[in-house]
Amino acid sequence: MNEWLDAILDLVQSVDPVLRTALAGVFIMLETTILLGLIVAGDTVVLVASTAVDTPLGYWSLAITVIVGALAGASLGFAIGRYFGPRLRASRLGRRIGEKNWQRAENFLDHRGGIAVFISRFLPVLHSLTPLVVGMSTLRYRTFMLWLTPACILWSFAYVSVGSAAAGGYRSISETLDGAASVFVAVIIGFWLLVYAVKRLLDRYVSRFADRRGDGDATTRDD
């Protein structure tokens, strides 16, 4: 099994570091732009790219690029929501998302304001819809960025750290431990299970607010 994992990691590492880092940034940007996050698995791309990190420079370059990509994509989503939001929501693409999902994102934002922006970064569907919904709301762009930036930083460093640490740990023991690949797989599976558990907890929190209408003012919050 070590040979198979060696081949996969070597393949990822064979990609030019600049190109690899840029692709991760582009994919994470697309994840929060024009609903593409519903089909673009940016988190998987970032995790795979992080397995090739083997220097401090590579680590920081990838983490910062992912943060910038996420903020750029969300900013573009905000602008689209501000200028084209209602038309996009009524379009064929918007209808495919479902009015219920639009309404849930809108309700959650109305009830929790900036907190909703922070939490949405960690949840599927919401992380794609929220920038658009914020653009259509009363929340200012500066407030949007103030809440989104720490969420993107936390998300980026979590994924890059786990991927690079798992791959680095594997490389350090692969020559002396036949089951090193199993350890690598166990770490990645454990991380995904942790992510799943956190998402379930956040989903429960979101459900407390997303299924009832707010006051239409995202600058106010319910207690």
- DSSP secondary structure of 129-174: HHHHHHHTSS--HHHHHHHHHHHHHHHHHHHHHHHHHHHHHHHHHT
Ranking 6-15, 113-122, 155-164 by mean pLDDT, the lowest is 6-15
pLDDT value at residue 154: 96
Place of tokens 């989903």: 203
More confident residue, 131 or 178: 131
Asked if 73 and 52 touch (Cβ cutoff 8 Å), the reply is no
pLDDT value at residue 109: 92
Give the DSSP H/E element, type plus range, for residue 85: helix 56-90
pLDDT at 7 over 80: yes
The pLDDT > 90 percentage for the chain reads 56
pLDDT value at residue 35: 59
State the Cα–Cα distance between residues 160 and 162, nearest whole angstrom.
6
Give the DSSP H/E element, type plus range, for residue 52: none
Q: Other CB atoms closer than 10 Å to residue 3's CB: what's the count?
A: 9
pLDDT value at residue 38: 62
Confidence of residue 34 (pLDDT cuts 50, 70, 90): low
Confidence of residue 174 (pLDDT cuts 50, 70, 90): confident
Per-domain residue ranges of the chain: 2-210
pLDDT value at residue 220: 58
Q: Which long-range contacts (CB under 8 A, 24 or more apart) does 214-220 make?
A: 214/106, 214/107, 214/109, 214/110, 214/111, 215/110, 216/110, 216/138, 217/110, 217/138, 218/109, 218/110, 218/113, 218/116, 218/134, 218/137, 218/138, 218/139, 219/113, 219/138, 219/139, 219/140, 219/143, 220/113
pLDDT value at residue 218: 64
Q: What is the mean pLDDT of residues 120-134?
A: 90
Asked if 81 and 106 touch (Cβ cutoff 8 Å), the reply is no
What is the tens place of the pLDDT at every residue in 11-26? 888 899 999 999 999 9
